[in-house]
Chains A and B, each alone.
Chain A
């Protein structure tokens, strides 16, 4: 199994509070991704990183920011959480960009915003 951990695994927070989710990998992979999973939508890309300090937006990036100061860590921040950000968040990593390069996923973080 790919060495990917996410923390916390579960979090309950209140509307308007900042929240940071952490993804940590031990594979030294260059590419990292944050997705959110919601019923009826599958997984949707929030942000991704193609190197240290190199990040870009995905399709559902509003209300989220990311940072990557080290190869192994990719942080997702909800600056001011809203109830619409209640979701399951997955981090994924990839070693390359070839079409057949598999993305491996972390265990997920369940976030509930009250």
Chain B
């Protein structure tokens, strides 16, 4: 079963506007981590932001923030003041516990990705 769902194959935003990229997830664990990565056209995977399931505050990193709604199992990425360089593929990913009860060894489960295009 799909654990991470990104329902927006493509998004468009005007330069300097804010945009929200959706991510919903499914897990039975109470403890987990959520990540967002950016993949520009050059192909590398760039870590953007992390949110822990027990973090009380929504994560922020510069222009990136995470709208984390635990009860709805959503972790949407908000990019403020979009720039042309933000045009890229964005992936949401989840890590489940790797402790004694879990054997995931830090594996990440990724969503399908959302292609963001920023227009001038």
User: A residues touching B (Cβ–Cβ < 8 Å)?
Assistant: 31, 33, 35, 40-45, 48, 50, 56, 58, 88, 90, 92, 94, 96-97, 99-105, 107-108
Q: Are B43 and A88 in contact (CB under 8 A)?
A: yes
Q: Are A90 and B45 in contact (CB under 8 A)?
A: yes
> Can you list 23 contacts pairing A with B, beta carbon distance less than 8 Å?
A33-B107, A42-B110, A43-B91, A45-B108, A48-B105, A50-B105, A58-B107, A90-B45, A92-B45, A92-B108, A94-B106, A97-B99, A99-B33, A99-B52, A100-B33, A101-B95, A103-B47, A103-B108, A104-B47, A107-B43, A107-B44, A108-B44, A108-B45
Counting residue pairs across A and B whose Cβ atoms lie within 8 Å, the total is 68
The answer for the CA separation of A100 and B113 in the assembled complex, in Å, is: 21
Q: Are A43 and B108 in contact (CB under 8 A)?
A: yes
**B95: chain A residues within 8 A (beta carbon):** 99, 101
Interface of B is mostly: loop
Q: Are A41 and B107 in contact (CB under 8 A)?
A: no
